[in-house]
Chains A and B, each alone.
Chain A
Amino acid sequence: ALAAREKKKEEEEEMNYFPDEVIEHVFDFVTSHKDRNAISLVCKSWFKIERYSRQRVFIGNCYAVNPVRLLRRFPCLKSLTLKGKPHFADFNLVPHEWGGFVQPWIEALARSRVGLEELRLKRMVVTDESLELLSRSFSSFKSLVLVSCEGFTTDGLASIAANCRHLRDLDLQENEIDDHRGQWLSCFPDTCTTLVTLNFACLEGETNLVALERLVARSPNLKSLKLNRAVPLDALARLMACAPQIVDLGVGSYENDPDSESYLKLEAAIKKCTSLRSLSGFLEAAPHCLSAFHPICHNLTSLNLSYAAEINGSHLIKLIQHCKKLQRLWILDSIGDKGLVVVASTCKELQELRVFPSDLLGVGNTAVTEEGLVAISAGCPKLHSILYFCQQMTNAALITVAKNCPNFVRFRLCILEPNKPDHLTSQPLDEGFGAIVQACKNLRRLSLSGLLTDQIFLYIGMFATELEMLSIAFAGDTDKGMLYVLNGCKKMRKLEIRDSPFGDTALLADVNKYETMRSLWMSSCEVTLGGCKRLAQKAPWLNVEIIDENDNNRMEQNGHEESQKVDKLYLYRTVVGTRTDAPPFVSIL
């Protein structure tokens, strides 16, 4: 036995042909989280070297782990990314008080005196208190990125502005921020000259334009500036004149038609912005102003007009015709199929397209159909990501799209009317989506819609070998559907299902599968409380959450709870057990 141990130790030492410092240096070139996780599993000494050298940590579910364990393993961390609520929270399926609080993380990081420089949060609850603590605790703090977060006000932003002396990025994307219409912009001290990114497009209130202009003027490194509604056209012209080096611009509002002098000033300022590559905003836009941007369109690689509801199709098309280098386009369906044909013939470099619905309720005349999608697939050979809201679809169109574009990595199709079949044949869309998963061997993310039977899930299980995230709504017939997916998709990480007839049989078939996944969401399906309880018993390393807003205590009172359907189920693997911050309407089994 001693000889065996000695041999093992020798073998381990042999893994290290080089001193630790050399290995560490090699590891510096390994940057992706997946790769770093992989090398840390090779052997004990690599695990040790890797954890001390890891600077950027990504935590996809903030309840899978806790701050103590994070800091224990990665004491030298500089950048932390945290995600809180499940994806369906974006569609109001998760109550606001569900959880995802960043406060305990910031408290723990502050206590540990780790040299935090960057914090990126998505779907988390952030308070002014958290922001204040953050701003005071890390002297090297440089970068704050908040995406789809809530719970804070402009007072919290004021703390960040005032206290983070080396702030480089303040990037607020699609957050719900209570705008106290205060003077947070004036809280940046005159000595603050390091800003590279300033994005406050999601703020609703007025902006201190004077403070903003001064800030932009003293930020020579500013590359990304995204303004909110309250910044009018003439102020925009002045800002652009102060920052001709800008690469990424978010325009606020064009409330009224500018007088010719303002327009000329804007035109002149725009022409000087030769580094401009990305344009967004136009939250309220007078269409004629778009033409001021035509001179720089040939340089644009990214264009987001998805909030510009006032700009009609023809003005959009006029702009896009100049954008030959476009790689990313986010637009409203008011562009119409005809507009998409123009995109297809103009934007040969297009990689990512998102077409959002302009009318959430009715049937708009200018909405897009399968024709637009086919045109894009035929014209844009580099397309790999698509999000497409449309009125109707056919199997034939999807089969054509699959032939034209076998390179899809992300394919999200949303036919606005649930359960809608192929509008020509009245058949389910199994064959169409099936063609997509069969042709696109690199498909990692898929969202389904329209009328679908168990057949599509058979196809997904068979062909979608790289699939990591699948969103299902109003689809399938029996538990077999869900089983095909769970058994077939070896790389599945996030599965989210709503309003589909999958129940306990599918849920319980392979409990160990959930250890290989980040999370599973099932709402308005057929799973029962009894089934969930059995799952929780079999898998103590899972948090099985039942979210029931309607009656907090219903589960205890009702004698027939075993067969009671569960409204919302959210389960996820975790190494730290049941969370302690769950609200009363969440039961963790």
Chain B
Amino acid sequence: MAKEGLGLEITELRLGLPGDNNGERLVCGSKKTKRVFSDMMTSSSLDTDGENSVVVSSVDIVAGEVADESSPVAKSQVVGWPPVCCYRRNKKNNKEASKAIGYVKVSMDGVPYLRKVDLGSSQGYNHLATVLENLFGCLGLGVALKEGEKFEYVIIYEDKDGDWMLVGDVPWQMFKESCKRLRIVKRSDATGFGLQRNSSFE
């Protein structure tokens, strides 16, 4: 396992810019071999436990980051480094995962099964309306969003507090972040409430 520059020079992964001291540091030194990151990369890729070892074997991902000083790329590629215990790592990963906006359930009165929409990639209320129309084959949901009083259905959502709210009142981003699930209900079931749309966010 020769170590002199082999690992560093021929692979696109670097610990720093070309000619950087950091890069050379691993090269000079004693005669005994020292594991270089490229070696660890190769062996790490055999690691089937992908949960906590972020193995980046694709050159594409690295290419964009080579320009960084003292590249942070190296840190993410070694199993078990930095030595943060997996409980703590998992808590962090879970937090980040749960923050990611993804698919939410949509139910519609009278329809026996639910659907799911990807809020994360949705671009706005109008886009959402179109998606819902396609899902439920129910034309006019877009109209429901815009001119609530006239349409048969009303679209509501459950927010983080567990309250049911009318879709459209708050800015799109705020809605995206707080929406846990959607429901399309018949207007007749929600009588007595002023359903004047807050139209500032159209």
Residue positions of A touching B, CB distance < 8 A: 88, 90-93, 95, 148, 174-176, 202, 204, 255-256, 283-284, 306-307, 309, 356-357, 360-363, 389, 414, 416-421, 426, 447, 451, 453-454, 471, 473-474, 477-479, 498-499, 501, 503, 524, 526, 549-550, 567
Q: B191 at interface (Cβ–Cβ under 8 A)?
A: no
> In the complex, what's the smallest C-beta–C-beta distance from B20 to chain A, in angstroms?
10
Contact with A along B60-90 (1 / 0, CB 8 A): 0000000010101011101111111111111
Is B70's CB under 8 angstroms from A360's CB?
A: no
Contact with A along B25-39 (1 / 0, CB 8 A): 110011111110100
A417 CA / B69 CA spacing, docked (Å): 12
Give the residue name and chain of the A residue nearest to B65 (CB): A362
Question: What residues of B have a CB within 8 angstroms of the CB of A498 in the complex?
Answer: 80
Question: What residues of A have a CB within 8 angstroms of the CB of B46 in the complex?
Answer: 550
B12-70 contacts to A (CB < 8 Å): 15, 21-22, 25-26, 29-35, 37, 40, 43, 46, 48-49, 51-54, 68, 70
A-B contact pairs, 29 of them (CB 8 A): A90-B83, A93-B80, A202-B87, A307-B88, A309-B95, A357-B84, A360-B82, A361-B54, A361-B76, A363-B70, A363-B72, A416-B75, A419-B22, A421-B22, A447-B83, A451-B25, A453-B29, A453-B30, A471-B83, A473-B81, A477-B34, A478-B30, A478-B31, A478-B32, A479-B32, A501-B30, A501-B33, A524-B35, A567-B43
Give the residue name and chain of the A residue nearest to B91 (CB): A307
Is B75's CB under 8 angstroms from A417's CB?
A: yes
Q: B161 at interface (Cβ–Cβ under 8 A)?
A: yes
Give the residue name and chain of the A residue nearest to B94 (CB): A204
Question: What residues of A have a CB within 8 angstroms of the CB of B89 in the complex?
Answer: 360
Q: A414-B82, A524-B43 are in contact. List 6 more A-B contacts (CB 8 A).
A: A91-B84, A256-B161, A283-B91, A309-B95, A420-B70, A499-B35
Is B22's CB under 8 angstroms from A420's CB?
A: yes
Residue positions of B touching A, CB distance < 8 A: 15, 21-22, 25-26, 29-35, 37, 40, 43, 46, 48-49, 51-54, 68, 70, 72, 74-76, 78-92, 94-95, 160-161
Question: What residues of A have a CB within 8 angstroms of the CB of B22 in the complex?
Answer: 419-421
Question: What residues of A have a CB within 8 angstroms of the CB of B74 in the complex?
Answer: 417-418
Assuming the contacts A148-B87, A417-B70, A499-B35, asked whether A524 and B40 have C-beta atoms less than 8 A apart, the reply is yes
Is A419's CB under 8 angstroms from B32's CB?
A: no
Give the residue name and chain of the A residue nearest to B49 (CB): A92
Q: Which 10 pairs, one residue from A and one from B, show the smallest C-beta to C-beta distance?
A: A91-B80, A477-B30, A90-B85, A174-B87, A501-B32, A361-B76, A362-B72, A93-B80, A92-B52, A478-B32
Chain B contact surface mostly: loop
A421 CA / B24 CA spacing, docked (Å): 12
Contact of B25 among A361, A414, A419, A473 (CB under 8 A): A419
> In the complex, what's the smallest C-beta–C-beta distance from A479 to chain B, in angstroms?
8
Is B85's CB under 8 angstroms from A526's CB?
A: no
> In the complex, what's the smallest C-beta–C-beta distance from B140 to chain A, in angstroms?
34
Question: What residues of B have a CB within 8 angstroms of the CB of A414 in the complex?
Answer: 82-83
> In the complex, what's the smallest C-beta–C-beta distance from B87 to chain A, in angstroms?
4
Give the residue name and chain of the B residue nearest to A565 (CB): B1
Is A92's CB under 8 angstroms from B32's CB?
A: no
Assuming the contacts A174-B87, A420-B22, A550-B46, asked whether A360 and B76 have C-beta atoms less than 8 A apart, the reply is yes
